[in-house]
Amino acid sequence: MAKAYYSTVFQQPAQEVWEIIRDFNNYPVWVGGAGESRIEDDKSGDAVGAVRSVLYRARNIRQRLLALSDVERVQTYEFCGAPSLPVEGFSATLRVTPVIDGDRSFVEWWANFDCEPGLRDELTATLGGWFAQWLESLRGTLDRRVPGETASVNE
Amino acid sequence: MAKAYYSTVFQQPAQEVWEIIRDFNNYPVWVGGAGESRIEDDKSGDAVGAVRSVLYRARNIRQRLLALSDVERVQTYEFCGAPSLPVEGFSATLRVTPVIDGDRSFVEWWANFDCEPGLRDELTATLGGWFAQWLESLRGTLDRRVPGETASVNE
Amino acid sequence: MAKAYYSTVFQQPAQEVWEIIRDFNNYPVWVGGAGESRIEDDKSGDAVGAVRSVLYRARNIRQRLLALSDVERVQTYEFCGAPSLPVEGFSATLRVTPVIDGDRSFVEWWANFDCEPGLRDELTATLGGWFAQWLESLRGTLDRRVPGETASVNE
Amino acid sequence: MAKAYYSTVFQQPAQEVWEIIRDFNNYPVWVGGAGESRIEDDKSGDAVGAVRSVLYRARNIRQRLLALSDVERVQTYEFCGAPSLPVEGFSATLRVTPVIDGDRSFVEWWANFDCEPGLRDELTATLGGWFAQWLESLRGTLDRRVPGETASVNE
């Protein structure tokens, strides 16, 4: 099973990190390079099955929310249509877990997918690198926040 | 950890069972004894965080959707306010898994909760019995359906 | 992610089914076609990390136990060396869950693996078919047992 | 559901931390205050079902290994006989997850149990505090190690 995986530690509590990630329409708030995002069919960003249509580096991508848990702070999504890499059966998951020691959070982002065996190592590294980059972008967003500021893209 | 658990096998495929359960507002469609149900604050029945307000045997109960997964066909919810039994920290989960042999489904319903130790066995039995009864009610709903009929309470 | 999956329902309680499966050296007891099996390095059949060396249809295969849980009745293993099919990153899991309704059990067997994309559907079907066949062989073993009979290959 | 939970971050890679924890007989190596430990019935420390008999602060405690996974680096155990606190249905789990950023590890220790409702907060705090203390003791063991040193109590 091809799996790309990245994880890191944030100084912010798990709940604070989760509040930004959980809204599936919040992508442009914390992913550098992401432009306009909207949820299709008037769904809310916490509705399982919602499709977000995002402009990412001048390219439109569409992704569907497959699972959302406020208990385990987990979000799983897939691509609608072909993803930008030569992979099939792709789904990705973000999870935020409390680090009690220091009231911080442990943040994981991984993807499962199928691909040509010869491309597996390269694709795994590429995806892992993207997850790292986007989580650094999220870290920047969190570090710049004024305490008490709300997270939503809509405000 | 006090845990009430019930599980059974349905003749219908997992996807068919899941389509009825997954809409958090669909309760009255398949739970015998449940009357009017509505989701508060104009949320949809697949929005995590949605609160359903249901009339069950002439009593109003409110429950919040905590997690929903179309990948594992899982739904988790809790009570808003005090539940009808003397329990605390209650959350319940429904899961539907395919039985490949015969294209059937394996349906589980469990709850975790805290209570007085002396009441644990009784409460576990009571809850397990309710889950059994409601799943029999769901079985009846499924068996009576005309093939192709839609599942929603709103149609 | 390529995944082969098979599941079925047994008439026996989960604990009775699990007692046969959980000993990693018990393979020849319930898998038709499996001949002599032994655990290498004098380990026991419930030691995580144990390697079983089995004669299956005149061919020697070696598999390592990666995880064992008496809580969830789950066993995960991988191949040592190349598996008999053109797959990589293969690991397989067996799980036994109680069906409270009728005191039966729900038995699942799945494998995750990587392969050439063009072979994925065929390999998934082949593996699923093998899991079905071996679980039918386990069903036969269970149905033929005299009540109270022990499960071990060593007795 | 009463749950005590503690988690922290170690500077060492997940595999290095896991190698110490996974042997159920290794307790005295890394838990300060634990004296002689032995596994009953000549089982190995990685055999699921193994019972360790440990002298902890001049008191004998016996614990049974319920699950072990080298895939998820997870260990679950329960008490044989009454635990030292007024709890029932106690089981505890240790998990080690890689922190890719910095090649560190995220270490969690939690317990599920039942108790008198009035004691729940106190017991949850007490157990969480013990897990914190024992993980600090593990951290000290890891920090003092000479690179390449083996982890086993038996060497």
Across the interface, which of C43, C71, C76 has its CB nearest the CB of D71?
Answer: C76
Nearest CA in chain A to B73: A67
Contacts of A123 in chain C (CB under 8 A): none
The alpha carbon of residue D154 is apart from the nearest alpha carbon of chain A, in Å, by 32
Which residues does chain B have with pLDDT short of 70? 147-155
The alpha carbon of residue B124 is apart from the nearest alpha carbon of chain D, in Å, by 13
> For position B56, what pLDDT does the model report?
87
DSSP string over chain B: -EEEEEEEEESS-HHHHHHHHSSTT-HHHHSTTEEEEEEGGG--TTBTT-EEEEEETTEEEEEEEEEEETTTTEEEEEESS--SSS-EEEEEEEEEEEETTTTEEEEEEEEEEE--GGGHHHHHHHHHHHHHHHHHHHHHHHHHPPTT----TT-
Contacts of B6 in chain C (CB under 8 A): 100-101
d(CA D124, CA B87): 18
Contacts of B1 in chain D (CB under 8 A): 1-3, 89, 91, 112-114
> For position B48, what pLDDT does the model report?
98
- More confident site: C27 or C132: C132
Across the interface, which of C5, C101, C128 has its CB nearest the CB of B7?
Answer: C101
Convert the pLDDT of each residue in D105-129 to its tens digit.
Answer: 999 999 999 999 999 999 999 999 9
Convert the pLDDT of each residue in A14-37 to its tens digit.
Answer: 999 999 999 999 988 898 888 889
The alpha carbon of residue C152 is apart from the nearest alpha carbon of chain A, in Å, by 33
Convert the pLDDT of each residue in A121-131 to its tens digit.
Answer: 999 999 999 99
The label of the residue with tokens 């009357």 reads B35
One-letter amino acid at D98 equals P
Chains near C with 3+ CB pairs less than 8 A apart are: A, B, D
Pairing, β D104-114 against β D59-69 = unpaired
Please report the ipTM that was assigned to this predicted complex.
Answer: 0.92
Residues 76-135 of B with CB under 8 A from C: 97-102, 104, 106, 108, 128, 132
Convert the pLDDT of each residue in C56-111 to its tens digit.
Answer: 888 899 999 999 999 999 999 999 988 889 999 999 999 999 999 999 999 999 99
Q: Is the pTM of this model over 0.90?
A: yes
- More confident site: C150 or A81: A81
**Rounded mean pLDDT, C17-41:** 91
Can you point out the beta strands (E) in chain A? Answer: 2-10, 34-39, 51-56, 59-69, 74-79, 88-99, 104-114
The alpha carbon of residue C12 is apart from the nearest alpha carbon of chain A, in Å, by 33
Picking from B23, B70, B80 by the largest number of A CB atoms within 10 A of its own CB, the best residue to mutate is B70
Q: Report CB contact under 8 Å: B76, A71.
A: yes
Contacts of D5 in chain A (CB under 8 A): 98, 100
Helices C120-144, C14-21: crossing angle, 10 deg rounding: 110
Convert the pLDDT of each residue in A88-107 to its tens digit.
Answer: 999 999 999 999 999 999 99
Return left, alpha or beta for A22; rule: phi > 0 is left, psi -120 to 50 is alpha, else beta: alpha
